[in-house]
A and B are shown apart, each in its own frame.
Chain A
Amino acid sequence: MSTTNPAPAGTAGTAGTAGKQVWTELRGLREGVDLGTPPRDGEPVTLTIDGVETTVPAGSSVLLAATVAGATVPKLCATDTLECFGSCRVCLVEIEGRRGYPASCTTPVESGMTVRTGGERLTALRRGVVELYLSDYPASDIEGGWSEFHTTLEQVGLTDGLPADHPYRGGDHHQHLAVDESNPYFLFDPAKCIVCSRCVRACQEIQGTFALTISGRGFGSKVAASQDESFLASECVSCGACVQACPSDALIEKSLFPGGYHRADSGQA
């Protein structure tokens, strides 16, 4: 199976007969595409995503099944190297016979499920959520950005950021928080942080260091190293798992900024 062409729609599992085999094929997919949630071994489960019948192992998420089926579901906090978390609320879908708009990353597949990943209603909700992110993200860093966050902006049609007269403008924000450049290899710019906890989870699940956490609550929630120390002074071992996991370039390698990191002083979006 090709590793770069991830999604011949619905074929990943339909060819499989035994449960484990389904999974073997999915492992091949991982090189080229983010499945959204970690692959699982299990008996085959068949469901319909946007009209495409798809078979994935039991225990998989709807997000993974949608990816396998060739659908593009925007997401921010989900990635297939970390357990699902359900915080970004961008990967919402509709499931026939269920109320509301469940997050596809935290919803396990069930046999016979009928899922819709697009449509006017979902688009409006996703845009509504992403507008909230944009209301606390540097306006000057939206155009030309290459992070996963920017991909999500494209997917929901918000590449221009928030208009100058948007009602969310002028509100409370975190754009004034200082950049942490204490670590020799990477820096943390809280202005670009979307508080998805991917760094925190990478530190726990991948490295097992537990150096990162979210401190505060509500709008004051922010990524903190150890007891709100600098990254260098914290228990961080500079493994880089958090940098790898960050979808919005808030955690980024210093080597990318040879002349030093300069935050474009643009105020909030």
Chain B
Amino acid sequence: MTVRICVPCDAIALSIGADDVAVAITAEAATRGLDVSVVRTGSRGLFHLDPLVEVELDGVRHGYGPLGADDVTSLFDAGFATTALAPGAHPLALGPVEAIAELSGQTRLTFERHGVVDPRSLDDYLAHGGYEGLRAALAHGPEHVVTEVTTSGLRGRGGAAFPTGIKWRTVAEAPATPKYVVANADEGDSGTFADRMVMEGDPFCLIEGMTIAAFGVGATHGVVFIRSEYPQAIATMTAAIDTARAAGWLGADVAGSGHSFDLEVRMGAGAYICGEETSMLECIEGKRGQVRAKPPLPAIEGLYGKPTVVNNVVTLASVPWILAHGGAAYAGHGVGRSMGTLPVQLAGNIARGGLVEVPFGVSLRDLVERFGGGTRSGRPIGAVQIGGPLGAYFDDDQLDTVLDYEAITAAGGLLGHGGIVVFDDTVDLAAQARFAMSFCAAESCGKCTPCRVGSTRGVELIDRITAGDRSARMREQLDELCDVLEHGSLCALGGLTPYPVRSALQLWDRRRASGTRSTDGHGSHGGAPA
């Protein structure tokens, strides 16, 4: 009987030699005359174990990793293709994958098929619960879709956390036609990769989510807007859309329902701001990627001025599970107004980086320490940036805050797209403040003045503060500038940049005041009076 050996084809695994591993396994099996089939799956999201190779024996996946091509011979010698090797039997043997603590401790709903299925196989998708959500939607009608999504409490996972059901209701009730569904896959936040993993590891899930959205609101056309930095995701999504169309899951008569919906992939051109929904719509229309003033909301006048559902990839990919299991089942997870699960992305100086899908309510410390294993360098945590480049830096003593949109906001931060970037105690926080401001300067669309001019002035001010040039006066001006950015900017890029800038500088002050560390390199200058 053929033994399935799964090798991830996710971009992270590819970047550290997964293709070489796949080739080596195929060659070695042929040499030994073993009946082995190498299947390329998505990633489990346990990046410290990647490339994580899984051998399926008697229906159980046994893991080996992190695996290099030159480990393959020794694994065959140990008999991994025919026998389940227990941890210890081989240095790379991990035992049953589902039992790995960092994975078994998760609650995988949106990512339930990740690392399990072959992302390019529609049959594999269907065999693992795929399209059950759409079937339920088609059986109960569009109103059921909007009601279930509303009941689920699902909120926008791109960062704004707007209730998805309310947005869909608005589009459903808008009289104008045609209507559109746009998936925002311009995942530009530093340290985030959940959207990429959806597209590379389970693309049919996004297609199904968009099809359900389209059915719910009466849309006939959809666009997946993917950043150009994601070539694997673009290739996988494009192939999956073609496959779905050929099988009748997209097109003029979706699954025999009479409902018409088709999808296309559009590629970004390297601008972070095109992840802002109105800039993205401008870009799709072929214009300069520039923020539109709101109102009108995209739900009323979106793509080509027509009612448009614009949702993040993870939001849309959460919908099939919700329709298949019911909104109430999803809402049964989480805390307060933060219902369901969040695929958290651990990155930076962390021992076990990767994707951790957990219900809301888990503490940040749990995520960073229990799942993430603390810093990779082994040094104490110096700061943790929550929510991407526009999120605040948290100090160690803020890590008991729980994963909950409202709790994180109350702690002075924002949860954003669920990215957590860890720094150890050697972090130069003044440099991080400067980075945040220079990120805004580099990525500003140039429309509104606070962001267009203010971000450049901000970088200049921070440089003068750290150089000790009239620091107190510069600091006062920076504070005024942050006020103008926060309250005067047209969109969240300028409006939120003060979060990382102010929080990093506060931590910088705190470190210098306590004299705990002066490794930031500027400690002896920054406080000099004007």
What residues make up the interface of A, taking CB atoms closer than 8 Å to B? 84-89, 92, 100-101, 103, 106-108, 124-125, 128-129, 132-133, 135-136, 167-168, 170-172, 194-195, 197, 213-214, 216-221
Contacts and interface: CB of A to CB of B under 8 A. Distances in A.
Contact of A133 (B443, B447, B453): B453
B444 A218 contact: yes
Interface residues of B, number: 39
A128 B484 contact: yes
Contacts of A172: 456, 460
Given A85-B293, A172-B456, A172-B460, A132 B446 contact: no
Given A124-B480, A128-B481, A171-B460, 19 more contacts: A89-B488, A106-B293, A106-B294, A107-B295, A124-B483, A129-B488, A132-B449, A132-B453, A167-B461, A167-B464, A167-B473, A172-B456, A214-B288, A214-B446, A218-B442, A218-B445, A219-B444, A219-B446, A221-B447
Contacts of B457: 132, 135, 168, 171
Contact of A129 (B294, B445, B450): B450
Interface in B267-282: 271, 273
Contact of B293 (A103, A220, A221): A103
Contacts of B464: 167
6 contacts: A101-B488, A103-B490, A171-B460, A194-B449, A218-B455, A219-B444
Contact of B453 (A103, A106, A135, A213): A135
A92 B451 CA distance: 15
Contact of A108 (B290, B295, B455, B460): B295
A133 B488 CA distance: 14
Contacts of A124: 480, 483
A63 B155 CA distance: 33
Nearest to A167: B477
A89 B489 contact: yes
B265 interface: no
Contact of B450 (A132, A135, A171, A194): A132
B445 to A, nearest CB: 6
Interface of B: 271, 273, 288, 290, 293-295, 441-457, 460-461, 464, 470, 473-474, 477, 480-481, 483-484, 487-490
A87 B453 contact: no
A195 B451 CA distance: 12
Contacts of A218: 441-446, 451-452, 455-456
A132 B288 contact: no
B505 to A, nearest CB: 15
B448 A87 contact: yes
A251 B428 CA distance: 45
B447 A87 contact: yes
Nearest to B465: A167
A113 B444 CA distance: 32
B488 A217 contact: no
Nearest to A220: B446
B461 A89 contact: no
A219 B452 contact: yes
Contacts of A88: 448-449
Contact of B487 (A85, A100, A106, A221): A100
Nearest to A105: B293
8 tightest A-B CB contacts, nearest first: A221-B446, A86-B293, A218-B444, A128-B484, A106-B293, A167-B477, A132-B453, A219-B456
Contacts of B295: 106-108
B379 to A, nearest CB: 35
A11 B476 CA distance: 44
A167 B458 CA distance: 10
A263 to B, nearest CB: 20
B89 to A, nearest CB: 56
B56 to A, nearest CB: 49
A35 B480 CA distance: 30
Nearest to B451: A218
B293 A128 contact: no
B477 A171 contact: no
A106 B443 CA distance: 23
Nearest to A86: B293
A133 B446 contact: no
Contacts of B483: 124-125, 128
A219 B441 contact: yes
A106 B297 CA distance: 12
Contacts of B490: 86-87, 89, 103
Nearest to B453: A132
A129 B461 contact: no
A167 B484 contact: no
A172 B438 CA distance: 13
Nearest to A126: B488
Contact of B271 (A125, A129, A168, A217): A217
Contacts of A213: 288
Contacts of A103: 293, 490
Nearest to B456: A219
Contacts of B454: 132
B416 to A, nearest CB: 19
A170 B457 CA distance: 10
B254 to A, nearest CB: 37
Nearest to A215: B288
A108 B445 CA distance: 24
Nearest to B482: A128
Contacts of B473: 167
B483 to A, nearest CB: 7
A226 B489 CA distance: 28
Given A84-B293, A135-B457, A128 B446 contact: no
Nearest to B290: A214
Contacts of A129: 449-450, 484, 488
A5 B480 CA distance: 38
A140 B151 CA distance: 62
Contacts of A219: 441, 444, 446, 452-453, 455-456
Contact of B456 (A85, A101, A171): A171
A214 B293 CA distance: 17
Given A171-B460, A218-B441, A218-B444, A87 B449 contact: yes
Nearest to A88: B449
Nearest to B295: A108
Contacts of B449: 87-89, 129, 132-133, 194-195
Nearest to B441: A218
